[in-house]
Amino acid sequence: MNLPPAGTEPLIEGLSAITFSTRDMQSAVRFYQALGFPLLHGGENEPFTSFAAGGSFLNLTVETRGPVNWWGRVIIYVSNVDAMYHKALAAGFTPAFTPRDAPWNERYFHIVDPDGHELSFARPLS
């Protein structure tokens, strides 16, 4: 085992994956596919599904033992926030608001998946 030199701190390099629980895999898979997430593993009838999210992964797992609760928000950078917003509208989804520029220098909007997980699609402003 290679140990780092004493006093050095590890750096956070990125997000590998985020996993959401769902009670309805079919609805969840259709939601993420409609938004353009490429399916890598699993599917509508599987207990675990994985999508590509750039260099990371968005996973879904079926939860049957307790309530699926809102836990927070995942922020997903996209190449064009307004185009993603219109893609969501075209798929019949209702974002929380139209894209807006934030004081923290991002353009973004929020949308909730079928299980109540909040997604923020964003892009840094130049």
CATH 3.90.1720.10 holds for 17-124: no
pLDDT band at 62 (very low <50, low <70, confident <90, very high): confident
Q: Return the HEC string of the chain.
A: CCCCCCCCCCCCCCCCEEEEEECCHHHHHHHHHHCCCCEEECCCCCCEEEEEECCEEEEEEECCCCCCCCCCEEEEECCCHHHHHHHHHHCCCCCCCCCEECCCCEEEEEEECCCCCEEEEEEECC
Give the domain ranges of the chain: 17-124
Higher pLDDT: 121 or 67? It is 121
pLDDT one-digit tens code per residue, 79-117: 899 999 999 999 999 999 999 998 888 899 999 999 888
